[in-house]
Amino acid sequence: MPSEAVREFDTLIGKVVAQGNRWRMLEHFKGYFGASGSSSSESWAESDLNSFMSQTAENAPLFIEAFYEGCEALRGDDGIAVPDVGRMNRILKEHGVGYEIRPPELVAVGFHEPISVPERYQSLDEQAQDIVQQSLQQSEKLLAEGHPRQAVQEILWLMESVVTAFKGLSAGNSTIEEKYFNKIAQELRAKKKGQTIEQVLTWLTTLHGYLSSPTGGGVRHGVDLKSGITINADEGRLYCNLIRSYVTFLMAEHYRMSRGT
């Protein structure tokens, strides 16, 4: 997210929280931007919210989703006015963010370069390095050739593979013992309570479930031919960029855990 756009959304939050119990409403938005637990004072709540907004701004779709859902949850509360979608989209357009809110969807607009990822991950051996890079390249090739569903399927497989790399790593006083994607994600969330990775894994498993479902992306269990959807090029780019950002974050976390930090 461009810093100017982040500031405009922060200004809108300031106008919203001024309409009610300011501390409570700051905590409300904090939760949508990935925080857990309450701050010790109103001023700390504001500072903590700014920190979480800055972190989330590294991934534009997640930032937009957090702001939109935080506002929607307040819409209809007596005496509370929140920005409408038109206002949000004007900010996104003015700053060239590349996304547009079309409830209930967030749509990628225009051409998007893939989110960059490291050429090497420090905690992986050579064979694993090759697997990661080949999968990323294959996904990008499929997108360029006009095969968004196959591109998402390839990078979803990579995300599952990266999560399984956590098996055997130390997490506090115990090690990760599960073998499969959903179980490892669940175990990691339980052992990383209150940390960013807990929220990231929640988002990740939600996205994984949607894309796997026959009435969602249909990339794992087939698509429901009567009520399912097909992934178009813009959606394919959105999902691939989301998953690339998750992979990058998870591998950085894998490196930290492998070093015991």
Amino acid (1-letter code) at residue 235: E
Contact 210, 238 (CB under 8 A): no
pLDDT band for 261, please (50, 70, 90 cuts). Answer: low
Tokens of 244: 């690339």
For residue 119, pLDDT over 80 is answered with no
pTM tops 0.75: no
111 pLDDT above the threshold of 60: no
Q: Helix axis angle, 181-191 relative to 148-164, nearest 10°?
A: 50
Q: Cα dihedral angle (136, 140, 141, 146), rounded to 10 degrees?
A: 140
Residues 16 and 25 sit within 8 Å (Cβ to Cβ): yes
Contacts of 78 (CB under 8 A, 6+ apart): none
Predicted confidence at residue 96, as pLDDT, reads 84
User: Average pLDDT, whole number, for the chain?
Assistant: 86
Pick the range with the lowest mean pLDDT from 60-69, 89-98, 210-219: 210-219
For the chain, the straight-line distance linking the first and the last C-alpha, in angstroms and rounded, comes to: 29
Average pLDDT over residues 210-234: 76
Q: What is the pLDDT of residue 249?
A: 87
